[in-house]
């Protein structure tokens, strides 16, 4: 009976360990992780992207709805094709990259979680911080759990990958970025596209 209980408790502990949330690091050695942004104003359209993605996400494949984490973007990594436009964008009048070097999103809650195979779709609510202003927002998110696929991406490493995709829109006026000014050239609405993969080495 004693042996039976010991074996049972060991199996339970092993099961708990396996089901524990994994930490995924989103610092991408391949430089693929990016956040795209698009501003479509009547007189001008601005398209760009940022590659300075970092952060960690706690993800449990058995319970994707309990996912928590924070993704950070280096403001200085924002890129647009025109050098003067980029200089203006990062200046103190617009994003003030020197004073506010990070843009971040910290998740609080996942709702409407639906999982099919390795893919989970949900609506994530969290705190989005831009130019020192934090606002709560809800965005659709798609999580794809790629078990044992880290080795395919980074040679000689074993582990899992978590891919996060999300599209949402913010208003620059909500974040004190030249509110009400130059809206014919720089749209108030900013469409953001997040395409990132995190690694959980074993």
Burial (CB < 10 A; 0-12, 13-18, 19+), residue 131, is: middle
- Minimum distance between the CB of residue 133 and another protein, rounded to whole angstroms? 26
The least CB distance from residue 83 to another protein, in Å, is 5
Q: Which residues contact 108 (CB under 8 A, 6 or more apart)?
A: 125, 126, 127, 136
Output the CA angle 102-64-151, nearest 5 degrees. 75
Query: By CB under 8 A, how many residues form the interface with another protein?
Result: 28
String marking each residue 161-200 x if it binds another protein according to CB under 8 A: x-x-x-----------------------------xxx---
Q: How far is the CB of 81 from another protein (least distance, A)?
A: 4
**CB-wise, 92 or 152, nearer to another protein?**
152
Nearest to 58 by CA among 69, 47, 44, 73: 69
Interface pick for another protein out of 82, 114, 134, 181 (rule CB under 8 A): 82
Q: Distance of CA 16 to CAs 60, 62, 161, Å?
A: 11, 11, 20
Q: Which member of 25, 38, 41, 49 binds another protein (CB under 8 A)?
A: 49
Alpha-carbon gap, residue 191 to 141, rounded angstroms: 14
Question: Which residues contact another protein (rule: CB under 8 A)?
Answer: 30-34, 36, 44-45, 47, 49, 51, 79, 81-85, 144, 146, 149, 152-153, 161, 163, 165, 195-197
């Amino acid at each position: 009976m004693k042996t039976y209980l010991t074996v049972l408790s060991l199996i339970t502990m092993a099961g708990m360990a396996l089901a524990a949330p994994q930490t995924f690091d989103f610092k991408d050695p391949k430089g693929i992780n990016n956040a795209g942004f698009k501003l479509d104003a009547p007189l001008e359209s601005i398209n760009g992207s940022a590659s300075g993605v970092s952060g960690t996400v706690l993800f449990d494949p058995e319970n994707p709805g309990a996912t928590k984490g924070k993704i950070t973007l280096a403001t200085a990594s924002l890129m647009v094709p025109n050098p003067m436009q980029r200089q203006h964008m990062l200046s103190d009048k617009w994003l003030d990259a020197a004073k506010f070097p990070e843009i971040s999103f910290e998740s609080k809650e996942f709702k409407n979680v639906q999982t099919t195979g390795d893919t989970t779709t949900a609506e994530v609510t969290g705190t989005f911080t831009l130019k020192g202003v934090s606002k709560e927002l809800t965005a659709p998110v798609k999580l794809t759990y790629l078990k044992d696929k880290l080795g395919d991406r980074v040679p000689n490493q074993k582990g899992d990958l978590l891919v996060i995709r999300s599209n949402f829109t913010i208003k620059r006026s909500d974040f004190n970025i030249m509110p009400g000014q130059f809206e014919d050239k720089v749209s108030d609405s900013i469409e953001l596209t997040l395409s990132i993969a995190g690694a959980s080495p074993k």
